Amino acid sequence: MASFLSRPLASLARLSLPPGARGMEPRRSSPPLLLLLLLLGASGFFQSYAVEVDVKDASNATCLYAKWMMRFLIKYETNSSDYKNATLNLSSGVTHNGSVCGNDTQAALLAVQFGEGHSWSINFTKTNETYQGEFITFTYNTNDTAVFPDAKRKGPITIFVKDTMHPVQLNNVFVCHNTDFLEAENVTQIFWNVTVQPFVQNGTISKKESRCRADMPTSAPTVPPTIANVTTAPTTTLSPAPTTAPKPVENPDTGNYSLKSGNTTCLLATVGLQLNVSQDKPHLINVNPKTTTADGACGNTTATLKLNDGNSTLIGFTFVVKNTSASVQKFYLKEVNVTLLNHLNGSVISNADNSNFSEWDAFLGSSYMCRKEQTLKINEDLQVHTFNLWIQPFLVKANKFSTAEECFADSDLNFLIPIAVGMALGFLIILVFISYVIGRRKSRTGYQSV
């Protein structure tokens, strides 16, 4: 994997669409940027290609420009009813048919086609001052047996994703070198090294850049010393700085997450999350709830909560309902999947899944609570630690948690406290009784005749 990612990118594929290319209606799509990477396979590997698209209007002037890289991670069902993870990369044979310039009344469309029946597109709308991506449309074809061996469902599958791109000032080019990813319907779309500008004015790509948040500097630049701010200090001999132990990672902050079905809340979750990654160099990663968004789906017997920290971590929790008797139903956590990405180039650090859990069970209509730390082992190299967990994936009423069923660790603690208090009181009563008996004996001794 590492040697593959270190190989140089192939030449850019470039297209200038001929005049008249804007006659097609746009399809729904979303975020900016695009292309590929990665491999899953035997002895060979797929090369990564950057794509550059230069769409021309009727006067042969540039009206839409984009250059980016992307790839796709897809989970699909096999004929044996298990699930496999596939990586879909763009090949060198990329076409760009159907791209549309757009205008004040029509959305601009950036569309590419590649491989054995795969395609991707995003549409852009504009106001008087800004433009932004609206929807992304991605179609993958499971008839491509090189990517989807033994796929149970055959043929093209299309998904739609709302773009998370913020409005950009017109006549500004949007740039994002860091990794961005979107997850929906068992597909993770990964983008990096993105440059895009729809509604280009006067056929010239703007030199004004609007950067994504991930590209923004996180610390103030270092101020070079000048005569005014340099003070001459006396020469002294400094002893080596003492070696300090690494600071332990604190427990993560607790985040509050929810999903809606229409206007009704259908899933509630409160949890602090920490990843224990032992691949290469062991380290702990706290999931920051301030930058984490929730997505997923609610159902009558299955619910999925997907958390995206907006940087490099995707965590999915799948809950199912089981019948414990003819009239009693319970829910439990069945599956957890985690994807860790390199936020600089989009490479996958870890993509782990465990669908054999039977944790966090509670009666349907109740919630599950566990304040103490719990550990979910995904594989030998990855664990998920939860703190202050409170979850209800089904039958949420009035946007509030129902009565909670506590985990054994918490209930055990609740039992121990009154037991310890009772034992202390019992011991105190025994001491008082013994003191009373001794006092009575001494009193009787004082009244004996000499």
- Are domains 2-214 and 255-407 of this chain identical in fold? yes
- The predicted pLDDT at position 204 comes to 93
Beta bridge partners of 67: 52, 195
- The predicted pLDDT at position 228 comes to 38
> Interior CA angle at 107 toward 101 and 112, to 5°?
60
**Joined tokens for residue 116:** 């054995």
> Interior CA angle at 339 toward 93 and 317, to 5°?
125
**Burial grade of 322 (CB within 10 A; 0-12, 13-18, 19 or more):** middle
Pairing of strands 49-56, 10-16: parallel
Q: In angstroms, rounded to a whole number, what is the distance separating the alpha carbons of residues 307 and 52?
A: 31
DSSP state string for 166-206: PPEETT-EEEE-S-EEEEETTEEEEEEEEEEESS-STT---
Q: Residues 47-85: pLDDT tens digits?
A: 456 888 999 999 999 999 999 989 899 999 999 988 899
Q: Which residues contact 22 (CB under 8 A, 6 or more apart)?
A: 55, 57, 58, 63, 100, 101, 102, 106
Beta bridge partners of 71: 89, 190
In order along its 450 residues, the chain shows pLDDT tens digits of: 332 232 333 333 344 443 333 333 333 333 333 333 333 333 333 345 688 899 999 999 999 999 998 989 999 999 998 889 999 988 778 888 889 898 888 889 999 999 989 999 999 999 889 999 988 989 999 999 999 999 999 999 988 888 878 899 999 999 998 888 888 888 999 888 999 999 999 999 999 999 988 787 654 444 444 333 434 344 444 445 455 555 567 899 999 999 998 889 999 999 999 999 886 677 888 998 988 888 888 999 999 999 988 667 889 999 999 987 778 899 999 999 998 876 655 566 778 899 999 999 999 999 999 999 999 999 988 999 999 999 999 999 999 999 999 998 776 555 556 666 777 787 788 888 787 777 776 665 555 554
> Interior CA angle at 321 toward 316 and 322, to 5°?
130
- The predicted pLDDT at position 445 comes to 56
Q: Where are the domains of the chain?
A: 2-214, 255-407
Q: Does residue 84 contact residue 74 with C-beta atoms inside 8 Å?
A: no
Beta bridge partners of 173: 209
The CATH code for residues 255-407 is: 2.40.160.110
Q: In angstroms, rounded to a whole number, what is the distance separating the alpha carbons of residues 392 and 363?
A: 10
- The predicted pLDDT at position 62 comes to 94
- The predicted pLDDT at position 448 comes to 52
Q: Report the top-level CATH class of 2-214.
A: mainly beta
| Dihedral sign from CA coordinates of 28, 31, 36, 38 | negative
- The predicted pLDDT at position 44 comes to 32
Residue 23 amino acid letter: G
Q: Which residues contact 215 (CB under 8 A, 6 or more apart)?
A: 175, 176, 177, 178
Helix (H, G, I), strand (E, B) or coil at 412: helix
Residue 436 amino acid letter: Y
